[in-house]
Chain A
């Protein structure tokens, strides 16, 4: 095998010597080699530029996508702004229904008004958990009856009166602008036989970005 290899190589060398001696073949060989060299040099020279161009193309694609996403977001904000402006006159109802703060004083005032308008006597209002203004904050937890983000003040209100007025009072609590979630309604007689209504409920508020306490 080694002999065959050497024989083949010497035959090829002789062939090149013969070709070199012929002017036309010799010139062609040099032309081919020159072209190969030029191509190699062009590739080497252009390579950094080509790499940069591909990087710039990627960067352009990313920026175009980012710009498109921003366009969509700007369109959504513009649309939301228009919708917000349409309802802005009615937003005070939202502030009354679900305020950002507990605002329990105005709620309890409305409760007293509701009681007097219904013809019942409010005898007791128990607030289970509440925030003391200027003092240490008592924990007010989100409850199962309230949606996520809404905190509630649990209360029990006790009134005396008759059945029809009890019904009016419960309807009054339900129809208050400040949204109340009634958990239970209990009617019974006290020791003296006077009908007593006990309504247990939750009044909510939406603290927004405030951390849950």
Chain B
């Protein structure tokens, strides 16, 4: 009985070895395709992440174009993914008030800081505002 079992086991192992060998050959022949799948998958994930990084600065520019009155002139604007720093000047404080009011109503800006305001004869009322996103 023990000897018969051994013969059966030998036969089983021989069959399994053949099976594993043929599967190994298949996997080896598929390895370039597998590498290609993996790289494509990694690239797709990278693209998804990069698209998630995009923070639509054009939308912020469009909103600012609407919210900054035409009577107010921009001297500089710096836009990053976290904040907007804008400086400009206007002829009187009512226009600045109107601008601040419009910016305040926009939910895109999570914080608004009027950091600097000064008056000069040639340019009128100069201001600097930091908007948080």
> Are A49 and B3 touching (Cβ within 8 A)?
yes
How far apart are A76's CB and chain B's nearest CB, in angstroms?
Answer: 9
How far apart are A62's CB and chain B's nearest CB, in angstroms?
Answer: 9
> Are B65 and A81 touching (Cβ within 8 A)?
no
> Are A167 and B61 touching (Cβ within 8 A)?
yes
> Are A98 and B46 touching (Cβ within 8 A)?
yes
Q: Provide the bound-state CA to CA distance between A164 and B70, in Å.
A: 13
B50 within 8 A of A: yes
A119 within 8 A of B: no
Stretch at the interface among B15-23, B108-116, B117-125: B15-23
A161 within 8 A of B: no
A206 within 8 A of B: yes
How many interface residues does A have (CB within 8 Å)?
53
> Are A170 and B6 touching (Cβ within 8 A)?
no
> Are B50 and A181 touching (Cβ within 8 A)?
yes
B102 within 8 A of A: no
A64 within 8 A of B: yes
> Are B50 and A204 touching (Cβ within 8 A)?
yes
Are A80 and B37 also in contact (CB < 8 A) when A56-B13, A150-B46, A184-B78 are?
Answer: yes
A91 within 8 A of B: yes
> Are B23 and A46 touching (Cβ within 8 A)?
no
How far apart are A51's CB and chain B's nearest CB, in angstroms?
Answer: 11
Question: In chain B between 1 and 36, which residues have their CB closer than 8 angstroms to a CB of chain A?
Answer: 2-3, 5-6, 9-10, 12-13, 16-17, 19-20, 23-24, 26-27, 30, 33-36
A52 within 8 A of B: yes
From B2, B12, B33, B74, contact of A46 by CB (8 A): B2
> Are B47 and A179 touching (Cβ within 8 A)?
yes
From B20, B39, B50, B57, contact of A170 by CB (8 A): B57
Residues of chain B within 8 A (CB-CB) of A148 are 46
Question: In chain A between 168 and 201, which residues have their CB closer than 8 angstroms to a CB of chain B?
Answer: 168, 170-171, 174, 179, 181-189
Q: Provide the bound-state CA to CA distance between A179 and B34, in Å.
A: 26
From B24, B34, B46, contact of A147 by CB (8 A): B46
Per DSSP, chain B at the interface is helix
Are A81 and B33 also in contact (CB < 8 A) when A53-B6, A185-B79 are?
Answer: yes
Stretch at the interface among A10-18, A24-32, A66-74, A133-141: A66-74
How far apart are A37's CB and chain B's nearest CB, in angstroms?
Answer: 20
Q: Provide the bound-state CA to CA distance between A71 and B79, in Å.
A: 54
From B5, B20, B65, B80, contact of A66 by CB (8 A): B20
Chain B 65-82 interface mask (CB, 8 Å, partner A; 1/0): 100000000111111110
From A77, A94, A170, contact of B58 by CB (8 A): A170
How far apart are B77's CB and chain A's nearest CB, in angstroms?
Answer: 4
> Are A163 and B40 touching (Cβ within 8 A)?
no
A60 within 8 A of B: yes
> Are B74 and A187 touching (Cβ within 8 A)?
yes
- Cβ contacts A to B, 28 pairs, < 8 Å: A49-B2, A50-B2, A53-B9, A56-B10, A60-B13, A63-B20, A67-B16, A67-B20, A70-B24, A74-B27, A77-B33, A81-B33, A91-B40, A146-B50, A149-B42, A149-B46, A163-B61, A163-B74, A167-B62, A170-B61, A174-B58, A179-B50, A179-B51, A181-B50, A187-B74, A206-B42, A209-B35, A209-B39
